[in-house]
Amino acid sequence: MVSQIMGITCLTKVLMDGGNSLNILYASTLDKMGIPHSSLHPSKAPFYEIVPRKELDNFRKEPLTFEVVDFPGVYHTLLAQPCFAKFMVIPNYTYLKLKMPSPKGVITVKGSFEQGYYYEQDFIT
């Protein structure tokens, strides 16, 4: 569970799923971002992966393709193998960390088991 910035929107419920082969964006997330469904088409808009802290001194941006699905989900988006490959991510599931190269050195993204648990509990109830 990590946070990301997509365009100008900060998405706080992001699951990095290295076992999945599709990057998924939920239709409800599009609604929250103010993007009408009628405007969906292939895009070259960059996806920004940023270290979860206030300073934006070390980041990467890459174009990604998403499959938009219209069913409920716990997260805003699921990032999968295509994202991992594009960003050259090395995941460590035991410590819930991802590492990737950037122009200013290695970026380490830390997830939260506790946040993931609470999001799933809220979704179930």
Q: Provide the token pair at 46.
A: 């960059």
For the chain, count helices (H), then strands (E).
3, 10
For 19, residues 6+ apart whose C-beta sits below 8 A from its C-beta are: 80, 81
Homologous superfamily of 2-124: Acid Proteases (2.40.70.10)
Instruction: Kindly list the domain boundaries of the chain, sorted by start residue.
Output: 2-124
Is this prediction's pTM over 0.85? no
Give me the tens of pLDDT residue by residue for the chain, a chain 125 residues long. Answer: 455 666 667 777 777 787 778 888 888 888 888 888 887 876 555 555 444 444 457 777 788 888 888 888 888 888 888 888 888 989 888 888 889 998 888 988 888 777 767 767 766 65
